[in-house]
Structure 1
Amino acid sequence: MEPPQPSVVEEKMRLQEHLQRQQQQGQQQPSSQSSQSRNPTSGSNTVPMTEEELEGSPVHNQQSPAYSPDPSQESPAYAPTHMQIPRVPVPPPAPVPVYTTPRSPTPPPYSGPSTPAQEPAPPPESQTGGPKPPPRYPGLPALDYRLYNPPLFELSTDKTTIKSTTAHLSSSADALVALIRQQATVPPKPQIHIVGRRGNTPGTGRADFSIKLNLLSLLVPEDPRQRMDYLRCVGAGEVAFRGGTKPAAQPEVEGDGSLDAWAARFVADTASVKAFALERVVVNLDVEWLEGQIRKLVAAMRYPGTVAVSFPITHSRVVVQNPDRVNKFITSVTGFFAGKRKYEVVKAVWPFATMPKGSDADGRRCAVQTEEVWWREWRGPIRYAIATKRNGWVTNEDKLEALMEGTPSATPEDVDWGPEY
């Protein structure tokens, strides 16, 4: 038996319902596509979003877990139409080269003084192959001041003589010559002493003033090429200590009478007590003219006492003596009775000028400055030191005060010398 066939009316109804469902689905699909196009995580943002949608979007809210979407949570409708772009690792940025300007060794203007770390260190003595250079003291003449009191020497109480009894200096002519030549490179220390006293007997009583001035700087010019010092040995027929106990014009040494010949003669001498001396002397300084200027200055200040002006010289002798056989006392006694053989045949000459003052004014040249120039610079400080009854040195500080602040006037009316005593 055949099943019943559907009627035409039923077929039309089913067809209408099918068309209505398709029409409803077609109306819902644009809204879904619109929402997908407004998704900020979508690859194509065809529809612009409003400000309210942008603020509420998970992309702009970092607290939302949708900021890093999980692909497994995407809707099925979104997945088939989404084309995923593979992630390619981004290489790190290339380093930017840093261009530095080379630093100039010259400091910029108005910069501070160099620190010891910026100054090159002096090479060690072993690399230079020579002795360490002498230290330099700003404001003082460029001299090796270590030579004034070297090792194995003793300085006398009056500061005039250094003496050594080291054996090798009296037994080796080469060592003695090297010592004398080295000691001749430094000058003596000439000074001026001015003392004013009042009393019944000259040289007694209390001193009203006692001042000293150092003239060493007048012998050493700033330019070493302008130095005038030289070594001089005793000449033929000149009276001196030539290895005897008294000055004499004989004997002479063989050859040219040089320092080496005299040193060899001293070493060969078999005397029990013998001594070799170097004397440092100052020449061509007009001390008479300076003394006259000083006395006129003091007289103008109406000083009622007596004035003594002297020109002592310290650090003027270097003596080498043979070693004591027993002790200093035995050597002194032996030298007193048997006599000491003295060799005073060499001098280190330090000229103040090329010739004495007044001999030839046009050809005279001074190592540093003339006596007149020195007196103009120091007359004011000397007058003020006397007026204030100083007992001590007159130094560059006094000259600085006179130049920078002006030395107070020291007229006769300003000085109160006090009563006689």
Structure 2
Amino acid sequence: MDKVRLLSSPSGETESTGDSDQRQPTTPPPYSGPSLNAEEVSPALVQQIDASVKFPVRYLGLPRLDYRLYSPPLFKLSADTTTISTKAEYLSTNATALAAFIRAQATVPPKPQIQVRGTRGRRLDFDIKLNLMTLLVPEDDRQRIDYLRCVGDSELAYRGGARPDVLPAVGDGGLDEWCRRFTQDTAPVKSFALDRIVANLDTSWIEGQLRSLIASAKYRGSVEVTFLVAHSRVLVHSPDRFNQFLTSVTSLFSSRNKYEVVKAVWPFATTKNGEQGRKCVVNSENVWWLEWRDTIRYVISQRRQGWVTCEDKLESVMEGKCNQAEDINWGPEIL
């Protein structure tokens, strides 16, 4: 057998001596990656990778929240953006996992928003939306007053049946007991819901201010003010044990056991508007209105269709565009 001896050349390649004089590159083949020994991984790098998984990214100008919770793995967002739902089996069979997941989902708020539409006949003059979520989350986490609430013993709710009832009651068992009952429920079709709700926001007062503002702009059309809440529900369905078609057929001929016993409450204020000792989490309705009033008037004068953002506020304040909305020409009336 011929002996082959490898020599290193100045070019970084190897030369073989023997019967063949072939050059073989020392660089790795395509798609191969450099190996990394465990000894070469610094503790600082490990901590950095671990922190990126455990702690959420902070976005400048947005509330301090873990936004990953709005789109967890194996969940789908509904077309109207109100509900995320899943048929992940582990959440229907593991009470500990379900309780931990519900508690995590309760730490992020819903997204309350206002939609204002103005129409004359078949003509849409304006259709604007404003996001109110920032009014639920203070900059200092220690000032948050949101909480998780389970149904009371005498409160009518879906407690694992097809109709609302006051029974069964779990006493002090709370969320953990409801999760245990859900996971041990042998019904072929069942669901467990978490509802995120906004409390103590005076929507009637805000609507009145909006209608007065639009009337002062001499708008003669029909005005519709709607308060919407996106990302307001988390829904866990029983899994498709065989296939989706059979599950759909089963649900037609059998009752669905619903568990709608827990809510994540996100107060706008400690009490309702007008009550003594009321404290708002961020700003009162009046402060918010004074801050956005001129901007809303300006975007309506521009017949805006879409979101009203801080950029609109900057334009109306810095460039004086709010003054351009004093006299609005709405054009001819539409019959």
Farther off after superposition, 407-416 or 184-193: 407-416
The structural deviation recorded for 1:174 is 0.3
Question: Residues 19-77 of structure 1: CA distance to partner in whole angstroms, max 9, x if unpaired?
Answer: xxxxxxxxxxxxxxxxxxxxxxxxxxxxxxxxxxxxxxxxxxxxxxxxxxxxxxxxxxx
- Say whether 1:310 aligns with 2:226: yes
Corresponding residue number in structure 2 for 1:241: 158
- Say whether 1:164 aligns with 2:80: no
Aligned mate of 2:312, from 375, 380, 398: 398
The structural deviation recorded for 1:129 is 8.4
Give the whole-Å Cα distance in 1 for the aligned partners of 2:70 and 2:229.
14
SS at match of 2:100: helix
Corresponding residue number in structure 1 for 2:239: 323
SS at match of 2:278: coil
**TM-score normalised by structure 1 residue count:** 0.67
Give the whole-Å Cα distance in 2 for the aligned partners of 1:153 and 1:128.
24
Corresponding residue number in structure 2 for 1:369: 283
Q: Which amino acid aligns with 1:170?
A: S
Aligned mate of 1:184, from 77, 93, 106: 106
Give the whole-Å Cα distance in 2 for the aligned partners of 1:125 and 1:320.
33
**TM-score normalised by structure 2 residue count:** 0.83
Aligned mate of 2:296, from 382, 404, 408: 382
Larger RCO, structures 1/2 (Cα 8 Å, 6+ apart)? 2
- Say whether 1:333 aligns with 2:249: yes
The structural deviation recorded for 1:329 is 3.0
Aligned mate of 1:222, from 114, 125, 139: 139
The structural deviation recorded for 1:122 is 6.7
Give the whole-Å Cα distance in 2 for the aligned partners of 1:415 and 1:217.
33
Give the whole-Å Cα distance in 2 for the aligned partners of 1:185 and 1:143.
8
The structural deviation recorded for 1:127 is 8.1
Farther off after superposition, 216-225 or 411-420: 411-420
The structural deviation recorded for 1:178 is 0.6
The structural deviation recorded for 1:405 is 1.9
The structural deviation recorded for 1:328 is 2.5
Q: Which amino acid aligns with 2:330?
A: D
Give the whole-Å Cα distance in 1 for the aligned partners of 2:49 and 2:313.
44
Give the whole-Å Cα distance in 2 for the aligned partners of 1:407 and 1:151.
44
The structural deviation recorded for 1:123 is 4.7
Corresponding residue number in structure 2 for 1:295: 211
SS at match of 1:258: helix
- Say whether 1:414 aligns with 2:328: yes
Corresponding residue number in structure 1 for 2:19: none
Cα 1:122–1:215 change in 2 (3 A) is farther
Give the whole-Å Cα distance in 1 for the aligned partners of 2:240 and 2:148.
29
Question: Residues 210-269 of structure 1: CA distance to partner in whole angstroms, max 9, x if unpaired?
Answer: 00000000000000101111000000110111001111111112x414000100011111
The structural deviation recorded for 1:141 is 0.5
Q: Which amino acid aligns with 1:393?
A: W
Farther off after superposition, 403-412 or 123-132: 123-132
Give the whole-Å Cα distance in 2 for the aligned partners of 1:291 and 1:273.
41
Matches within 5 A, 1:123-202: 123-125=45-47, 131-199=53-121
Give the whole-Å Cα distance in 1 for the aligned partners of 2:327 and 2:128.
21
SS at match of 1:409: helix
SS at match of 1:349: strand
CA contact (8 A) 1:303 1:417 kept: no
Give the whole-Å Cα distance in 2 for the aligned partners of 1:394 and 1:130.
33
Tell which structure's C-alpha radius of gyration is larger.
Answer: 1
CA contact (8 A) 1:300 1:412 kept: no
Paired positions, count = 293
Question: Residues 316-356 of structure 1: CA distance to partner in whole angstroms, max 9, x if unpaired?
Answer: 11111111122223222322321211000000000000000
Give the whole-Å Cα distance in 1 for the aligned partners of 2:298 and 2:52.
48
The structural deviation recorded for 1:132 is 2.6
Between the aligned residues of both structures, percent identity stands at 57
- What's the C-alpha RMSD, in Å, of the aligned pairs? 1.9
Corresponding residue number in structure 2 for 1:9: none
